[in-house]
A and B are shown apart, each in its own frame.
Chain A
Amino acid sequence: MSKKTGKFMLSLTLVFGLVATACSSGGGSGSKDGETVTITHYTIDSPDRTFVEKLIPDFEAKHPGIKIKVTKAPYEQFDSKLQSSIAAKNAPDVTSHWGYGGFMEYYNKGMLMDMTPYLDGFKASDYNIPDDVMNIYKVDGKTYGIPLNSYVTVMLYNKDLFDAAGLQYPPTDYEDKSWTFDKMVDYAKKMTVDSKDLAKAQYGVDFGFGERDQRPQYFGADVYSADTWTNGGKPSEINLTKPEVVEAYKKIYGLIWDQKVSPTPAFSKSVSGQFGDPFLSGKIGMSVVGSWSLAASSNFNFKVGVAAVPQGPNEKVRSVLYVDPLFILKDSKHPKEALEWIKYLITTEVQEKSIELSGGNPPVNQKAAEKYYSNFEGIDPAQIKQVFEGAYKYGFESYNHLISNYSQINELFINELATVENGDKKVEEVLPSIEDKLKKLLERVNK
């Protein structure tokens, strides 16, 4: 190699070193700059979360001593980045359980700061947050999270398929007790074309009520003992082999394999990919799903309606609530300033602005929610409001927010129930083995 080439390569290396350094943002968190305090807000790198960056100039103008820095990670890597940041003592100040882990997991790992001492003079009613929603993130009277967005479970239906089958649209009123699970199955039968030809096949209902371990709750059965909700999300007993739980799972998976009105996993993956929602393909009549699916309704290739989740055997619970809070992490050096940022985000004005900026996130502030209900093209705002109000009334918080080490538990259910979903095994064969494995898992993680 000639001297010239050697020099060239050396210069190239140095130039790249310089360029790479120039591309850095300076390194370090730079939390203090004179009197100014920097609060780090850690979120998923997705437009419906990163929109908060657009609110920063207004916040900083109103709070001259506080700067906000938004850090992000893709959804799949959200938890791992958070954990390594905490391990490296580089934790953000404000975040939420936007990854796989939930509130109780964060709480039990000691990641969260008790906000109570900083909440003097804070009233949930000033921000139009219902008390029961505010209480979700309290443990032993101490507040660990302040609600920001509240999603519920809704029923979306394909008006085109209803029209083609000559069926009446389902009601939006949760008090209309004629709208039952059995009636939903009857409707579903009339819309189902159970064919091996994917182009012809269509199904009546996709019953995605909560995660797999929460679904029996709709049928009045509970997988976990009642103390789970009061002892920090650590179930002392597992009820998977109790007859009412077994019956509930039989009904859930019976929709696929006995009644044949729900799509098989193979069908869903064929029409919508690995993680997609088969409802979007236009080949599902009704879908019981989280209200986030509403946000994409203007892109559907068919007319969509929203309805109440039908009355099931459990008279008290018909909807899973997904209330996303904001937490202050335990290592935060500026909890007061972090709380100012959180309070700013839940004011009526900012929550109203956030609906548009986020592309349709449901505000927890009930005054701002009025604006949210009129945000969906082609759907009557009064109907959405009625569905949301009913869902709040008959709602139960999602298990993934309430149970400790939920990501591991959920993975166990997904893997073990796959054989039932694929039609390879019966519910009765699988549940005892899940119970054993779950008990061992809980023993290990809740030590």
Chain B
Amino acid sequence: MSNLALTKQLPVKPKKARAEMAQIIGFLILLLVTVAMIMPLWFMLSTSLKTTKEMLAYPPSFIPDHFAWGNFKELFINTDIKFGRQYMNSLIVGVATVIGTVFSSSFVAFGFARYRAKGSTFFFMLVLSTLMLPYPAIMIPQFLLFTKLGLHDSLLPLILPSFFASAYMIFLLKQFFTTLPNELYDAGRIDGCREIRLYWSLTLPLSGPVLATVAIFSFIWSWNDLLAPVLYLDSQENFTLPIGMAAMLSSKFRIAPWNLMMAASLLSVLPIVVLFAIAQRRFVQGIVLTGIK
């Protein structure tokens, strides 16, 4: 019996060994990919700590000879750069855009998801069709509008549009809201909820994942937006980070300060990394539930 058991177990051994080998190879491949992914980040960090002379040296060094921590300080004290101010402006625009987008888009999406009326499908298609309009097509009319309103060279033209909902976010939120069971709403109505309470006290609290997704998307878009700030903002005090960083490479007559640029890049990815780290679980859940990628 015991012999039989041994003979039966024999073929298992190479299988296990093969599986282990496959695991090791898989691990090595993953390790290589990870290194490849980390390399640009490492280079960004390394360049941000180099002096101008070392930055220009060829072949480039992976670890700086002298850590020039002063580059980070330079960003904040150099009055030509005004990095701190631009960082604050980007944060203001980003946070306000998130608030605007989340509330306005969810409100509209709630309407489309929960109510049927004559022409509601048509209007939903109409909203979706605005997705096909590229920003440059509406750029000049919108610019004229905000200039006429006296809002040129202020942060408001970057924030206000987000309070009028975004077609993409409406679509994303509607997808989620339609999955909420009707029975919940019926129960709410029986308990005396008005329609606005159904939105505020029932729909929003149940939509954490999709709201996190909308928040992250809208923050990233606002954080990275360059074209609209370039159009609306004239004074350096009002510039957002993308303009400030593009301006660092503006001079064709000077050596581009890549070390400062990399220090600025490192600091500029921080809010997105932090936001993603906080909302990661809900964000992934949101993408899965809405079927949006």
Query: Residues of A with Cβ closer than 8 Å to B?
Result: 1, 6, 9, 12-13, 16-17, 19-21, 23-29, 44-50, 69, 71-77, 80-81, 84, 87-88, 90, 198-199, 271, 273, 275-276, 280-283, 292-293, 295-296, 299-301, 359, 361
- Whole-angstrom CA separation of A74 from B233 in the bound complex: 11
- Whole-angstrom CA separation of A84 from B144 in the bound complex: 9
Known pairs A25-B154, A275-B256; list 4 more (Cβ under 8 Å): A13-B99, A45-B243, A90-B147, A282-B58
**Other-chain contact of B236, A21, A45, A292 (Cβ < 8 Å):** A45
A333 CB to nearest chain B CB (Å): 16
Asked whether B93 lies within 8 Å of A24 as measured between CB atoms, the reply is no
Return chain B residues, CB-CB under 8 Å to A71: 153, 234-235
User: Which B residue's beta carbon lies closest to that of A151?
Assistant: B253
- The answer to whether A47 and B155 touch (CB under 8 A), given A17-B96, A23-B89, A283-B58, is no
A362 CB to nearest chain B CB (Å): 10
Asked whether A21 lies within 8 Å of B154 as measured between CB atoms, the reply is yes
Asked whether B251 lies within 8 Å of A6 as measured between CB atoms, the reply is no
- Whole-angstrom CA separation of A69 from B80 in the bound complex: 16
Q: Give the interface centre of A6, A50, A77, A87 by most chain B CB atoms within 10 Å.
A: A77
Interface check B152, CB cutoff 8 A = yes
Asked whether B254 lies within 8 Å of A296 as measured between CB atoms, the reply is yes
A3 CB to nearest chain B CB (Å): 9
A156 CB to nearest chain B CB (Å): 13
Return chain B residues, CB-CB under 8 Å to A20: 92-93, 96, 154-156, 159
- Whole-angstrom CA separation of A13 from B101 in the bound complex: 11
**Other-chain contact of B251, A75, A90, A283 (Cβ < 8 Å):** A75
Interface check B150, CB cutoff 8 A = yes
Query: Residues of B with Cβ closer than 8 Å to A?
Result: 52-53, 56-59, 80, 89, 92-93, 95-96, 99-100, 103, 139-140, 143-144, 147, 149-156, 159, 200-201, 204-205, 226-227, 230-231, 234-239, 243, 246-247, 249-256, 258
**Other-chain contact of B153, A27, A45, A199, A273 (Cβ < 8 Å):** A27
- The answer to whether A88 and B253 touch (CB under 8 A), given A20-B96, A20-B156, A21-B154, is no
A272 CB to nearest chain B CB (Å): 8
- The answer to whether A84 and B140 touch (CB under 8 A), given A23-B154, A301-B57, is yes
Return chain A residues, CB-CB under 8 Å to B234: 25, 69, 71-72
Return chain A residues, CB-CB under 8 Å to B251: 44, 46-49, 75
Asked whether B238 lies within 8 Å of A24 as measured between CB atoms, the reply is yes
A148 CB to nearest chain B CB (Å): 14
B88 CB to nearest chain A CB (Å): 8
**Other-chain contact of B255, A27, A271, A280, A361 (Cβ < 8 Å):** A280
Asked whether B95 lies within 8 Å of A48 as measured between CB atoms, the reply is no
User: Which A residue's beta carbon lies closest to that of B258?
Assistant: A273
Return chain B residues, CB-CB under 8 Å to A29: 152
Return chain A residues, CB-CB under 8 Å to B143: 84, 87-88
- Whole-angstrom CA separation of A81 from B140 in the bound complex: 10
- Whole-angstrom CA separation of A90 from B103 in the bound complex: 33
Asked whether B144 lies within 8 Å of A77 as measured between CB atoms, the reply is no
- Whole-angstrom CA separation of A74 from B205 in the bound complex: 43
Return chain B residues, CB-CB under 8 Å to A84: 139-140, 143, 231
- The answer to whether A23 and B155 touch (CB under 8 A), given A16-B96, A47-B80, is yes
User: Which B residue's beta carbon lies closest to that of A53?
Assistant: B236
The 9 closest A-B pairs by CB, nearest first: A24-B154, A292-B253, A74-B246, A71-B234, A45-B247, A46-B251, A46-B250, A75-B250, A27-B150
Return chain A residues, CB-CB under 8 Å to B255: 280, 296, 299
Asked whether A295 lies within 8 Å of B92 as measured between CB atoms, the reply is no
Asked whether B246 lies within 8 Å of A77 as measured between CB atoms, the reply is yes
A292 CB to nearest chain B CB (Å): 4
Asked whether B243 lies within 8 Å of A90 as measured between CB atoms, the reply is no
- Whole-angstrom CA separation of A13 from B58 in the bound complex: 50
Return chain B residues, CB-CB under 8 Å to A293: 253
- Whole-angstrom CA separation of A23 from B103 in the bound complex: 23
Asked whether B154 lies within 8 Å of A281 as measured between CB atoms, the reply is no
B105 CB to nearest chain A CB (Å): 14
- Whole-angstrom CA separation of A72 from B58 in the bound complex: 34
- The answer to whether A292 and B246 touch (CB under 8 A), given A1-B201, A6-B200, A16-B92, is no
- Whole-angstrom CA separation of A296 from B255 in the bound complex: 6
